[in-house]
A and B are shown apart, each in its own frame.
Chain A
Amino acid sequence: GAGVSQSPSNKVTEKGKDVELRCDPISGHTALYWYRQSLGQGLEFLIYFQGNSAPDKSGLPSDRFSAERTGGSVSTLTIQRTQQEDSAVYLCASSLYAGQGDYGYTFGSGTRLTVV
């Protein structure tokens, strides 16, 4: 597609439930990133994909968080047993290549997750 697409745009879930957030990167972009933006905070790196591999998962806050990418395209971020502190906007970004610093990311509009 023309831009990075994320779904759903808003998600309200009960504490303890699992949620899946989806990201459709720009076609042909090999690198994909997930970030989290909590209220009043900057953006926090979660995980990076190059193709279907995730060489850097260092930002995942706990083992309740996982992500996968299939076909070098769509990525899903899964949060198990959600907690209230997971409430945030989850942003996905893609870029043509990674490791070169030459390209600004293209970000999606994010998924606003609210855990009640």
Chain B
Amino acid sequence: AQKVTQAQTEISVVEKEDVTLDCVYETRDTTYYLFWYKQPPSGELVFLIRRNSFDEQNEISGRYSWNFQKSTSSFNFTITASQVVDSAVYFCALSEYGNTDKLIFGTGTRLQVFP
């Protein structure tokens, strides 16, 4: 069965700290996609990244970086030098290739960055 687990319900940090949000997934498929979305207080989900199962290269985009490890079924997200504007709920999600692109979401991690 497909499942996404975000064990951290809430994380609080002080500005400029680095923070890592964990994501562990389960799937029987060999081809799948992993996503991270940000949900700021406004409520709209913002797409951050998509990674396919054949590409285990880590990715960096500005202060954001992602670590994909198939061996541990994890797709962790690190924010370097966090800022107050990073405060949001972050969701990890999984979809299986060739399907409907239906996303299976984790329950989210609420990140609060204090000045």
In the complex, residue of chain A having the shortest beta-carbon distance to the beta carbon of B31:
A101
**A89 on the B face (CB < 8 A):** yes
B107: chain A residues at CB < 8 Å are 40-42
**Complex formed: what's the CA distance from A31 to B103 in Å?**
13
**B114 on the A face (CB < 8 A):** no
**Complex formed: what's the CA distance from A3 to B52 in Å?**
25
Mark B37-58 against chain A: 1 for CB-CB distance below 8 A, else 0.
1000011111100101000000
In the complex, residue of chain B having the shortest beta-carbon distance to the beta carbon of A58:
B102
Q: Which residues of A17-61 have CB atoms within 8 Å of chain B's CB atoms?
A: 31, 33, 35, 40-45, 48, 50, 55-56, 59
Contact B43 A99 (CB under 8 A): no
**A100 on the B face (CB < 8 A):** yes
Answer whether A45 and B103 are a contact pair too, CB < 8 Å, given A104-B47, A109-B42, A110-B44: yes
Contact B102 A33 (CB under 8 A): yes
**Complex formed: what's the CA distance from A92 to B98 in Å?**
21
Contact B43 A105 (CB under 8 A): no
Closest Cβ of chain B to A39, distance in Å, is 11
A33: chain B residues at CB < 8 Å are 101-103
Mark A74-116 against chain B: 1 for CB-CB distance below 8 A, else 0.
0000000000000001010101001111111111111010000
Answer whether A99 and B108 are a contact pair too, CB < 8 Å, given A89-B43, A104-B47: no
A residues whose Cβ falls under 8 Å from a Cβ of B = 31, 33, 35, 40-45, 48, 50, 55-56, 59, 89, 91, 93, 95, 98-110, 112
B residues whose Cβ falls under 8 Å from a Cβ of A = 4, 6, 32-33, 35, 37, 42-47, 50, 52, 91, 93, 95-108
